[in-house]
């Protein structure tokens, strides 16, 4: 396998080569080719700029080490050297991250599903808390939230919520949220002050295009019905809600949020494609998921991944053993510390698998 230096030397040369190619008149005249080359160059820009910064830093390190022999400048050089070596470690780590093969789904939008689990009404109320948490997270990161289908309880809980998050890198940020979430707290209906434990299941599916999942229209059963629940004037007045069943797999998707039956059908098809895609990916990734077990988790929606303990004010992610005593902020959508830690663990695991550890 080529060394880190060899791979980035090639990237650097390729980046310059693409810059020259994209300025040639014959390539500019061929729009599809020009766009493809520009996209390739854009993908290389951040790694190459980091590599060039790393090379410049190496030169600074060499010059600073030469000053260690100077009686007047040795102390200053040692201090500067410690700072530069710290920067070197950070940049080298970042370079290794660039070499990790990207998840092809990372830049996709996502379809998220929340379902109340064990715990009755309290589980549904927990589902509503999770829905609010992810909605607030989306607002913090400029992700657009699209409601597809939400079933509310009389107490304001959520039996099931299906919604989309759209925006740059949505899947890369949310993919570690799949699994069973557990809440421990004293419900408002508890007269004895006892702590109850309830669960809710979260699934995060990449939103896929028609070209990614081929569906035979003859394999679909499409039913329309009147929408129900909270909402506008279309509720219970027209057959605008749509339920689509994929007969070969039995997978069902429903949408009743839009006033237009056509728009509801489009949204339901998005969800259906994502669910079929997830099922196929699960079969293909079974061996890989097994190798990840015990690291950052399998991504299986039956795996308990996180506990929200209100009496102690803590949130614990069981996959990486991280506990944070910031439950109010986290429930308000401040998930970055958790998501960043999970991302770093995944990157570290990928580096170990690719032998990109410290050389």
275-329 confidence digits (pLDDT tens)? 888 887 777 556 444 434 434 554 455 679 999 999 999 999 999 999 999 999 9
Task: Name residue, tokens 């290389």.
Answer: 44
Per-residue pLDDT band for 232 (boundaries 50, 70, 90) equals: very low
Q: Among 41, 68, 98, which residue terminates a domain? A: 98
The pLDDT, as a whole number, for residue 48 is 97
Same domain for 182 and 278, yes or no, is yes
Per-residue pLDDT reduced to its tens digit, 20-39: 999 999 999 999 999 999 98
Same domain for 65 and 152, yes or no, is no
Nearest to 63 by CA among 87, 84, 92: 84
| CA distances to 51, 62, 187 from 80, in Å | 21, 12, 56
The pLDDT, as a whole number, for residue 242 is 87
Average pLDDT over residues 104-115: 90
Same domain for 191 and 320, yes or no, is yes
CA dihedral 30, 33, 36, 42 (to 10 degrees): -60
Q: Name the least confident of 108-112, 201-205, 291-295.
A: 291-295
Same domain for 344 and 274, yes or no, is yes
The pLDDT, as a whole number, for residue 55 is 97
Same domain for 243 and 299, yes or no, is yes
Average pLDDT of every residue of the chain: 86
The pLDDT, as a whole number, for residue 297 is 52
Average pLDDT over residues 70-74: 88
Average pLDDT over residues 345-357: 78
Same domain for 209 and 332, yes or no, is yes
pLDDT at 258 over 90: no
Number of domains in the chain: 2
Average pLDDT over residues 224-230: 67
Round to whole Å and give the CA distance between 226 and 224: 7
In sequence order, what are the beta bridge partners of 179? 202
Same domain for 164 and 189, yes or no, is yes
Average pLDDT over residues 50-71: 94
Per-residue pLDDT band for 233 (boundaries 50, 70, 90) equals: very low
Residues with Cβ within 8 Å of 152's Cβ and at least 6 positions away in sequence, in order, are 128, 158, 159, 229, 230
Nearest to 176 by CA among 342, 5, 2, 4: 342
Residues across the chain: 359
What is the percentage of the chain residues whose pLDDT exceeds 70?
87
The pLDDT, as a whole number, for residue 295 is 40
The pLDDT, as a whole number, for residue 231 is 45
The pLDDT, as a whole number, for residue 178 is 93
pLDDT at 157 over 80: yes
Same domain for 13 and 75, yes or no, is yes
Same domain for 37 and 60, yes or no, is yes
The pLDDT, as a whole number, for residue 102 is 82
Q: Among 45, 70, 98, which residue terminates a domain? A: 98
More confident residue, 153 or 226: 153
pLDDT at 355 over 80: no
CATH at 227: 3.30.70.1660
Same domain for 145 and 20, yes or no, is no
Same domain for 77 and 142, yes or no, is no
pLDDT at 133 over 60: yes
Residues with Cβ within 8 Å of 3's Cβ and at least 6 positions away in sequence, in order, are 359
pLDDT at 254 over 90: no
Boundaries of domain holding 315: 106-359
pLDDT at 249 over 70: yes
Same domain for 53 and 110, yes or no, is no
Q: Among 98, 114, 139, which residue terminates a domain? A: 98
Average pLDDT over residues 228-250: 68
Dihedral angle sign, alpha carbons of residues 110, 337, 304, 140: negative
């Amino acid at each position: 396998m080529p060394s880190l230096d060899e791979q980035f030397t090639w990237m650097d040369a390729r980046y310059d080569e693409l810059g020259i190619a994209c300025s040639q008149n014959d390539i500019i005249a061929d729009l599809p080719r020009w766009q493809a080359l520009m996209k390739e160059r854009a993908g290389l820009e951040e790694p190459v700029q980091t590599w060039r910064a790393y090379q410049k830093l190496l030169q600074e390190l060499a010059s600073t080490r030469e000053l260690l022999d100077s009686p007047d400048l040795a102390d200053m050089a040692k201090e500067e050297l410690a700072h530069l070596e710290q920067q070197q470690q950070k940049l080298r780590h970042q370079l290794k991250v660039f070499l990790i093969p990207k998840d092809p789904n990372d830049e996709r939008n996502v379809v998220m599903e929340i379902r109340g689990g064990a715990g009755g009404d309290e589980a549904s109320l927990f589902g509503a808390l999770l829905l609010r948490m992810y909605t607030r997270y989306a607002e913090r990161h400029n992700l657009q939230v699209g409601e597809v289908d939400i079933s509310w309880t009389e107490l304001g809980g959520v039996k099931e919520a299906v919604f989309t998050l759209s925006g740059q890198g949505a899947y890369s940020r949310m993919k570690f949220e799949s699994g069973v979430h557990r809440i421990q707290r004293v419900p408002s209906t508890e007269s004895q002050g006892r702590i109850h434990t309830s669960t809710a299941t979260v699934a995060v599916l990449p939103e896929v295009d028609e070209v990614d999942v081929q569906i035979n229209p003859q394999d679909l059963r499409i039913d329309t019905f009147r929408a129900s629940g909270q909402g506008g004037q279309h509720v219970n007045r027209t057959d605008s809600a749509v339920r689509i069943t994929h007969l070969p797999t039995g997978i069902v998707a429903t949408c009743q949020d839009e006033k237009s039956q056509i728009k509801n059908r489009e949204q339901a098809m998005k969800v259906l494609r994502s669910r079929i895609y997830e099922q196929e990916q699960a079969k293909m990734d079974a061996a890989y998921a097994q190798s990840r077990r015990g690291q950052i988790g399998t991504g299986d929606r039956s795996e308990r991944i996180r506990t929200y303990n209100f009496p102690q004010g803590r949130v614990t992610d069981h996959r990486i053993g991280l506990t944070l005593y910031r439950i109010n902020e986290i429930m308000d959508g401040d998930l970055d510390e958790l998501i960043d830690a999970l991302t770093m663990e995944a990157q570290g695991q990928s580096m170990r698998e690719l032998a990109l550890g410290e050389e």
